[in-house]
Amino acid sequence: MKLLNSAKWGIFTLFILSIWSLDTQFHDLSLSPSLIYLDPIWHIIGFIEKRPITFHLIIFVLIIIATLFLGRFFCYYVCPLGSSLDLFAKIKGFAKKHGILPPSKAKALEIPHLNSVIFVAIIVAAVMGLNLGHLTSPVSISSALFGLFLSPIKWFKRGYLNPWLHLFSLLLPFLLAQKSHRTWCIHICPTGWLLGFISSIGGLRLIFSEACNSCGKCQYICTMNAIETNDRKAIKANQCHLCLLCIENCPQHAIKFEKLTLGEGLIGSATLGEFTKERRQFLLGGLFGLAISGVATQKGVFSGDYIRSIMPNDLIRPPGALPEQTFELLCVRCGLCMANCPSNTLQPLGFQNGVLSLFTPVLVPRIGACYPDCNLCGEICPTGAIRKLDLVEKQWAKVGTAVITKERCIAWEWEKRCLVCDEACPYDAITMVEISGIKVLVPIVVESRCNGCGACEMSCPVYPQKAIQVSPMGEIRLASGSYREEGKKLGFTLGLKTKGLATGQEMPPGFESD
């Protein structure tokens, strides 16, 4: 028992250190991209989306085979969210024991079993081209929680804009843990339901021997509500996650392992009422998935303006991001790109582009620039939603174009000398020109050179609204192929260049000299 618990906490520690290492010089050693694939849900969605098969498939196969033979062990020994909830319960118990927190008077939450409904809805939505898996994926939730909000390194750096909605969604499993800290696992988690279903087909299960006197102690300590000590007297194979606390605490030593025959846990241990209820939940989940998919094709609360090919001004995606609808489908909201971003310019998106874009990464130049010598977001992305690019290709992956608002510019409006944006631009996309009637040189943006990195916007001294801002105008989004070749076709001359003399012909419309 102690050895198994040591393995459990060792796996959890490895997960946390892999996430936290992203913001250090050891980010190349992080296992985080592979750890995301611990969740079988992402493999199933990947099959539906016909993603290329990678070596990560080995993780999926091993988990499924192990679940068939051992049962639902993943939820207790491997799942980072499950371990987080167990740790949360231990900390809360310690605080109550020492009077730091008052004794809990909370009653068990009356929540229906929604996990099968959620699982079917996620699968149906994936078939229809929507990604809902990130909302309940235990690995994605854990990755974002520890990478973005619980990283001690992040505490000493700039945080995230409007983090409370994102943080609330990530803490929901803990908010549900009032009476039973595994409420999320029992009633909500679709991954747990899938593994429970598989464990019911074959493998090991725990049973009562004749020595059981129905004292109820095992039922009291079971965190998964898997034990019934009534007339039926059974341990549900699809609910039990093999923590073995019942064996350890049984005064009669009346609980033992038994080999589960094929399908016995799935059919033999289920009553007719339970089977009918499960079938209804499948139907409900399918209808819910279809309904969400139907609503998502309409512009409004759920979907963004991209449905009608209009990109909001603040929707600037990371360099290498796939075309918008494909990007949203592949992004698992794990937060690894944001946790790995050294300038902190990548931020979780709010409701600006609808619910379906929620928590996807966007570039916010006023916080930080996307510098040309960094391609870490593409390197760390586990699903390919952000393409892996070398530094030359990355410089051609245009994310937008800087636009100057003359009425707010120090040089244009107040005729005071200011060279900040020109000096900050690594692409030589800003030049200073003479304009008749203005005493000082004023900046203009050479759009063909602008990568949209945001160094100018970040450095602009004008507050609260910057005089130069990046919009997604002119962005290049490719599912495949070379950004460099595409950029040249479009007439761009991107790249790190030395300063040159400006000509009047380089000025965009509205900035012509007299």
Specify whether 194 is located in the same domain as 313.
Answer: no
Q: Which two tokens stand for residue 11?
A: 């796996």
The answer to whether residues 451 and 324 belong to one domain is yes
Q: How confident is the model at residue 471 (pLDDT cuts 50, 70, 90)?
A: very high
Q: Indicate whether 465 belongs to any domain.
A: yes
Same domain, 186 and 311: no
pLDDT of residue 306: 44
**Is 6 a domain residue?**
yes
Instruction: For residue 139, give both structure tokens.
Output: 């690995």
Q: How sure is the predictor about 486, in pLDDT bands with cuts at 50, 70 and 90?
A: very high
How does 323-360 read in b/e, with b if 16+ C-beta sit within 10 Å?
ebebbbbbbbbbbbbbbbbebbbbbbbeeebbebbbbb
Has residue 239 been placed in a domain?
no
Instruction: Give whole-number Cα distances, 158 to 144, 145, 366, 464, 512, in Å.
Output: 16, 16, 12, 18, 39
The answer to the question of residue 217 being in a domain is no
Residue 404: pLDDT band with limits 50, 70, 90 = very high
Whether the predicted pLDDT of 144 surpasses 50: yes
CA-to-CA distance for 125 and 113, rounded, in angstroms?
A: 20
Instruction: Note whether 133 and 121 are within 8 A (CB).
Output: no
Mean pLDDT rounded to a whole number for the chain: 83
So what's the pLDDT on residue 225?
85
> Tell me, what's the pLDDT at 33?
80
Using alpha carbons only, give the angle 369, 373, 378 rounded to the nearest 5 degrees: 85
In a domain, residue 387? The reply is: yes
**Domain carrying residue 426:** 305-506
pLDDT value of residue 328: 87
Q: Which two tokens stand for residue 81?
A: 């969210």
CATH of the domain at 362: 3.30.70.20
Do 190 and 309 reside in the same domain of the chain? no
Q: Alpha-carbon distance 73 to 16, whole Å?
A: 20
Instruction: Please list the residues that pair with 429 across neighbouring strands.
Output: none
Mean pLDDT for the stretch of residues 507-513: 49
CA distances to 163, 171, 388, 404, 504 from 135, in Å: 16, 12, 25, 38, 52
Decide if pLDDT at 155 tops 70: no
Amino acid type, 3 = L
Better-predicted residue by pLDDT, 208 or 446 = 446
Distance (Å, rounded) from C-alpha 433 to C-alpha 442? Answer: 5
Length of the chain: 514
Q: Tell me how far CA of residue 403 lies from CA of 55, 427, 472, 493, 512, in angstroms.
A: 44, 15, 10, 18, 15
- Give the C-alpha separation, 36 to 76, whole Å: 17
pLDDT in tens, 173-204: 998 887 778 889 998 999 999 998 888 887 67
| 3-class secondary structure, 346 | strand
Q: What totals of helices (H) and strands (E) does the chain contain, helices first?
A: 22, 10
Same domain assignment for residues 183 and 316: no
In a domain, 295, yes or no: no
Radius of gyration of the chain (CA): 27
Asked whether residue 268 carries a pLDDT value surpassing 50, the answer given is: no
Whole-prediction pTM: 0.83
- Strand runs (DSSP E) across 391-445, as ranges? 401-404, 430-433, 442-445
Q: CA-to-CA distance for 447 and 508, rounded, in angstroms?
A: 8
pLDDT category of residue 487 using cuts at 50, 70 and 90:
very high
Residue 250 tokens read as: 């049984």
Number of domains in the chain: 2
Write down the residue that tokens 């080999």 correspond to: 259
User: Terminal CA-to-CA distance of the chain, rounded, Å?
Assistant: 83
Query: Which DSSP letter does residue 56 get?
Result: T
The two tokens of residue 290 are 């279809």
Q: Is residue 244 part of a domain?
A: no
Residue 298 pLDDT class (50, 70, 90 cuts): low
pLDDT at 378: 93
Q: Is the pLDDT of residue 124 over 50?
A: yes
The residue type found at 303 is S
pLDDT attached to residue 266: 52
- Quote helix, strand, coil % in the chain, to nearest 5: 45, 10, 45
Report if residue 31 sits inside a domain. yes
Strands 234-235 and 227-228: antiparallel
Residue 500 confidence (pLDDT) above 50: no
One-letter amino acid of 479: A
**Residue 230, pLDDT score:** 67
